[in-house]
Structure 1
Amino acid sequence: MVDEEFKKIKRNTYNDNLTREERQSLERLRNLNDVIIKPADKGGNIIVWPREMYEAEARRQLRDNTCYKKLSFNPLISFKNSLEIILERAEADSTISLELHRALSVSHPKIPTLYLLPKVHKHPTRPPGRPIISDVTLTRDQEGFIQTNVYRKPTATNTYLHATSAHPKHMKDAVPVGQYLRIRRICSTDTMFEKQARTLQKRFKERGYSQRCLKKAYRRARETPRQQLLQKKPPRISDDSIRYISDYNAHWEEMRRAIEKHLPILKTDSVLRHYVPDRLQMTARRARNLKHILVKSEYVSSTPNLFNLGTIKNGCFPCGKCVACPNIVRSTDFSDSGGQKTFKIRHHITCESKAVVYYAYCPCPKIYIGLTTRPLKVRVREHMRDIRQAATRVHVEELKPIARHFLSEYECDPNLLKVKGIDQVNLGIRGGDIPKILAQCESKWIWRLHTLQPLGLNEIQPFAPFL
């Protein structure tokens, strides 16, 4: 019902804050192979670092044997096992609870990545990498007392959230409040506070904030006793209320009204009514900015990628050697249940590919979205076996969705089953929780392709992988 309400929302057009030429330049910059793009350690700038300079600085730091040692093996499994032993002992001694034990356990450890942040405030053209610097200035007054004031690097730029940015209004209003309270807490005298407040007002005006908004934020900070701000805040009392979390967009309030309209339905459930708030709590995720688009924490080699050279094409390709090949379709795209939207396959997937989300369909054509961590051909053979054996099953409800459909519509003929690999999860050498990410990917395609029954063959929309 909520989904239907969302579809009724009129999608207004909006003006992009980047021109077409700027977006094309951004894409070209993102794909440059001879530079490394990182945020500056201080100041909020984005630095385009020549690759050879970045690599030279990384080698210089890694050669410091007092800080780094080259390993001959991957210690992750050993660390994981050692941690588990410590947690088991702590739980046995009642030092930690079972819940905390589970929270601290790491099922799928990831290899950390090393990267450097340029210290352009130290040297603007050949910056060393990643310092840790305080943002408070300490001085001693004439009576010998230590005074504190805000310190700002000469290379720091004005990176406060712009007043016209696509964020909820209460978030934008909170930015000046937080910054005025911050300088109120840091500045040990009223004179210092007033001076920093004037500077802060100038920077916020440059970012499009109104005089009314700034005056309100300043007055709140001015009237708050500094001693109160220096006190440690009591921890927030969390509740188990349901929240709606999504990317912010221009239809945020319309979405809120649509969800709140049907929220009382959950109140009728004997279990859920204890967790459903009277008023919906909506939380907006941070939107992508230029930093998220350009900066990569993991080092990418400058060696050309075979995919970029065009020697290996994206798509699904049967190997031509296995028994599953007649059922695996050679294709570079796929469409949703209504045939209205077409999507490109962005990986090179074969019968041998693992960690794959696949797209199975029949002459209807109804679609089933599934996943497999094993080779795709193994999962296809299992579906073919289930279809053949469906006629011998006494209880039809025990059959899997594809087998049940072929029993009722196609007399258990497995030759009519067609499969495409449409997506793949590859976490690289760092590793990670592939089953969870793969399940999230499967759930995404079930939703986008509308393959839930009765339009498709999927019986459930999995949400557990996102929890």
Structure 2
Amino acid sequence: MGSERELLPATIGRPGGFSNPLWILGSRYSVATAGCSGSRYENYKSKNFPPLTLNHYVDVFVQLVTKEFERIPRNRASDNLTRVQRRALIDLGHLDDIVIKPSDKGGNVVLWPRSMYEKEASRQLRDNVCYKRLTFNPLSKYKQELAAILELGVEEGVITQKQFSYLLPEHPAVATLYLLPKIHKGLENPPGRPIVAGNNSLSEPICRYIDHFLKPIVESLPSYLRDTTDILRRLDGIQLDQDALLVTCDVEALYTSIRHADGLEAVEKFLLMTDFEPETCEFILNLLRFALTHNFFLFGDLLYLQIQGTAMGAACAPSYANCFLGLWERRIFMLEPPALIEKVSLWGRFIDDILFVWHGSIDELGSFMDQLNNNNYNIKLTYKYGRTNMEFLDVLFNIESDGYISSNVYRKKTSTNSLLHATSSHPKPLISNIPVGQFLRMKRICSSDTFFEEQAKDLTNRFKERGYRQQDISKAYSRAKNTPRNNLLMQPKQKNPDNQGATEKSKGTCSEHRSSQE
């Protein structure tokens, strides 16, 4: 049996990229370091705890330690709520006809009538393509099936016995479904985003394990956008033609739209482009197949099985969805390019949000989007375009008269002042550093001093509304103002630069593998 470090390689090869760098935002052609050293999974300690009654000395020890803890003086935190506010919270908690949830976007707290909440959940769960009612609890049966997969992994030397114990929970809980209201799509009768809370569930450990391997693949995709800073860094200094359009696309209901066969095919193809052993690839696919086909959950007092898509809430769901769309992008840019593809440049994607530049007419753009929507992947794209500006994530991009792209902060209309209140019972250093982080974020996003000053003024007012001291606000503002924006856009340093040699070795391995596949 190989060592644990052999089972989780330190580096991973980049899957095949797109052929034309003009189409790719920031074209990522270097091999990504996976950081798959395996230590994260080697060192998981057993959760088994022996009964204290087995040993009298242990029992006495626990009693003595407990008494010592009881002698420690307790500093009771002062209540930062008035009696009226505290009473109001208790009364709200006792109301059965409302459901209190955070909004899907915008940081709001939403009081959702329970009848409306349950009606929206029923509407989604009646979709026989995605969900199926269960008449029994399959937990014991599913646990046995997972144990068989893991035992095979141990026999083949893919995982150790310690990893087996971690990946198979002894007393798993049943996952539950809840909805987050999408009030940005409508304040009256808003749709809900389904989230499966799988904490301590049967699939939670294997989903984390799967994500450990898929994340490096996702980060090496040519279209991959890590975050807002990554987008700003790549668009910095870009000059566009006079007739260029900024276009954003959104993949509708991505997580529930991915057919299991299509998603597994995408992951398999990308795994085969790495230097993982065949047994490791097969083991990851078996675990992923189990996680997809055994995702059952409770809503109310009814059990459901998800038969299409992946659970939003699973640790591997974003990476899985990224791999799926990565294969689709590979098809449209390399294998089966649609007409007018040559009019696309700077294509980048943050999970299901796509940004690109269009060098054609509006009618041609419509024709191009129709072709993208005519696919065998069950993908449906909606899009917006702008000749002078376009919002993407939390940034408003503007095309200036000289063709250069400027950026400003974008906030949705439904966004509220959700900054943590200064009197919140959090550590004081944490609260005092919130203004610093927020003003630095403004400086990073705003491409001009004028934009920054406008946003800083608005941010100052919002901090004052939340009880922050003017001294802390001014200090944070000055620090951000005096920080060069280029410093905030710099590429973060690699956590483990010593892996460079291993990365170079992985490049050759993966290139040879791709050549043999082609």
Fold conserved (TM > 0.5)? Answer: no
Query: Which one has the largest radius of gyration?
Result: 1
Name the structure where helix makes up a greater proportion of residues. 2
Shorter-chain TM-score category?
0.3 to 0.5
**Higher relative contact order, structure no. (Cα contacts within 8 Å, ≥ 6 residues apart):** 2
